[in-house]
Amino acid sequence: MCVGVIRVQRDRPVIHKNVIYNCRVIIHNRKILLIRPKMWLANDGNYRELRYFTPWMKPHQWEDHYLPRIVQAVTGQVRQNPFVLGLLLFGGARF
């Protein structure tokens, strides 16, 4: 049995207001705390993120993001999540 606090960060495509963003999703004990879209996308060499994703162009704005029903069912979250360029601090660790 796993005891303790679990923090995970995953890079995931997220559709927000019908636009696809490449985002870092911060998860804490099976709850999504923050969805952080990338502002700068790699578009040289082997990387062509602009082919699939849109960069986030609102650096100081907070928007609500409603989770898809399947994610709501897994996490038990029914409220909106912050969709923002932000920073979280966990006991000295930055996300």
Which is it for the CA torsion 65, 12, 28, 87, positive or negative? negative
- In-domain check, residue 19: yes
- In-domain check, residue 35: yes
Which phi and psi angles does 19 have, rounded to 5°? -125, 140
Going by the DSSP 8-state scheme, the letter that residue 63 receives in this structure is E
| Mean pLDDT, residues 24-45 | 85
- The domain tally of the chain equals 1
- In-domain check, residue 1: no
* Closest to 39 (Cα-Cα) out of 24, 26, 28: 24
- The predicted model scores a pTM of 0.76
- In-domain check, residue 81: yes
Distance between CA atoms of 17 and 80, rounded to whole angstroms? 13
Distance between CA atoms of 54 and 46, rounded to whole angstroms? 18
Which of 8-12, 71-75, 80-84 bottoms out in mean pLDDT, i.e. has the lowest?
Answer: 80-84
Domain around 89: 7-94
